[in-house]
Amino acid sequence: MSMSSPEDRQARADREQLQLLAIGYYVVGGITFLFACFALLYVAMGVLVMFSPPKPHGGQPPPFIVGVLLTAFGSFFLLLGWSVAALTLFVGRSIQRQRRRTLTLVVAAIQCAFFPFGTALGVCTFLVLMRDSVMQLYDASAT
């Protein structure tokens, strides 16, 4: 059995924790993408309202503007959710490569708003990335 120095053990622990963080970002990014797809329901309802035929017996369809607003609302939140999901997945890949530490910290702060998984992931990211040994890993991989 070989004896390893405390620095080697710390570096190994840091790499393992960074790998776990990267997996966490992939999982949260996938969940975010799936939940953002619920906005497609608003888009579909808006399109249905915009193109609904007149009701039988003289009933009026909903105003066209209601359909436009539903479609715009759904499209906005769909694109917003997909953008956050893509950024989260990108940060997961950046953590794996030990790149873009500042971007990772910014996205971790944004993720803290998404309770409970994003909050846990964001706090763990701050705890790991603020350690001096992890900063040295990022600096070493940048050069």
* Nearest-angstrom CA–CA distance, 73 and 69: 6
Q: In total, how many domains does the chain have?
A: 1
**Residue 98 within a domain:** yes
**Residue 7 within a domain:** no
pLDDT score recorded for residue 3: 66
What amino acid occupies position 41?
A: L
**Residue 111 within a domain:** yes
**Residue 8 within a domain:** no
What's the mean pLDDT in 71-79? 97
Banded pLDDT at 6 (limits 50, 70, 90): confident
Average pLDDT of the chain? 92
**Residue 36 within a domain:** yes
Asked if 42 contacts 66 with a C-beta cutoff of 8 angstroms, the reply is no
Which of the two residues, 3 and 120, has the higher pLDDT score? Answer: 120
**Residue 4 within a domain:** no
**Residue 93 within a domain:** yes
Query: What is the H or E stretch that residue 139 is in?
Result: helix 132-142
pLDDT in tens, 10-58: 989 999 999 999 999 999 999 999 999 999 999 999 999 998 887 777 7
Which range marks the domain in which residue 37 is found?
A: 13-52+62-142
